[in-house]
Amino acid sequence: DNAIVNANKLVEMTPVWQKRFLTWGILIAVFGMRIIFPLAIVAIFAWINPFAAMHLALSDPDQYSHIIEDAHGPISAFGGTFLMMVALKFFVDEDKSVDWFGGLERNLRKLGSIRGFEIVIVLCMIIGICQFLPETKHASFLMSALFGLLVFMLVDGLGSYLDGMAGSTSSLGARGGLGAFLYLEVLDASFSFDGVIGAFALTTNILLIAIGLGIGAMYVRSMTIMLVERGTLAEFRYLEHGAFYSIFALSVIMFLQSLFHVPELITGGIGFSLIGYAFYRSIQHNKNEAAVKAAAGI
């Protein structure tokens, strides 16, 4: 789902920015999200400086991982909010011309004409989850969730602003590409939260975690480029829809993880099933379309 959604945005970017997504982007993904981000979380929640957090990671990895796991609630609130906004933004887009589940998606597009509709849905979700949290966790959950909403609005707004400027300047590729690049980096961060935390269940060695998650980040980016170059999203018309349904499901799960543990098998299984079914339905559509053209002698 990460690669498919990335490809949806990357296809709008110039080859120069696509290359930067693989070079600059991978540095940000590996060193920023897989190393610096966990250290920053530990520094904030343990009230220590980043160097002390690094020393803790190397000298007492068990305590380090314990602090990371304690921060899971606020992290899930940020990631769940951002990803839910990403998914809803796709479904309420008035310019979306292809529907997978026609009735549902057409109604969402109509509701999307109401300004701020997707924000209201996300805020209702945040308030609903808060009702089941202990009062001591309300503040951290709300602040993290609202920060996720703010970051989405800033990145999405910046992208629209830069794209608008690109239309009236000669630096179209650089300006439009920058907005999309920033959007993709924050999107990657939201996707990576669970991986960063879940990795501590396998090992407490921060270097192994960084290497393993870094390989995964590089694979996702390479797969994204492949999807763009081969035009896969255009060939399989419902694949993109499956990815966004998967992201919406993931965002709901991230919210629920603030209340209780959701096994990774369920999270991965839902995403795999939705994208797999979308792929199957896309193949069926292509076969039916080919049969109609053959019957018409086209």
Q: pLDDT tens digits for 56-106?
A: 888 888 888 888 778 888 888 988 999 999 999 999 988 888 889 988 999
DSSP the chain: -HHHHHHHHHTTS-HHHHHHHHHHHHHIIIIIIIIIHHHHHHHHHHT--HHHHHHHHHH-HHHHHHHHHHTHHHHHHHHHHHHHHHHHHHHT-TT----SSHHHHHHHHHHHTSTTHHHHHHHHHHHHHHTTS-HHHHHHHHHHHHHHHHHHHHHHHHHHHHHHHHTTSS-HHHHHHHHHHHHHHHHHHHHHHHHHHHGGGT---HHHHHHHHHHHHHHHHHHHHHHHHHTHHHHSTTHHHHHHHHHHHHHHHHHHTTTS---HHHHHHHHHHHHHHHHHHHHHHHHHHHHHHHHTT-
Q: pLDDT averaged over the chain? A: 84
pLDDT interval class at 169 (50, 70, 90):
low
Full-model pTM: 0.82
Task: Report whether pLDDT(157) > 80.
Answer: yes
In this structure, of 2-6, 165-169, 171-175, 198-202, the range with the lowest mean pLDDT score is: 171-175
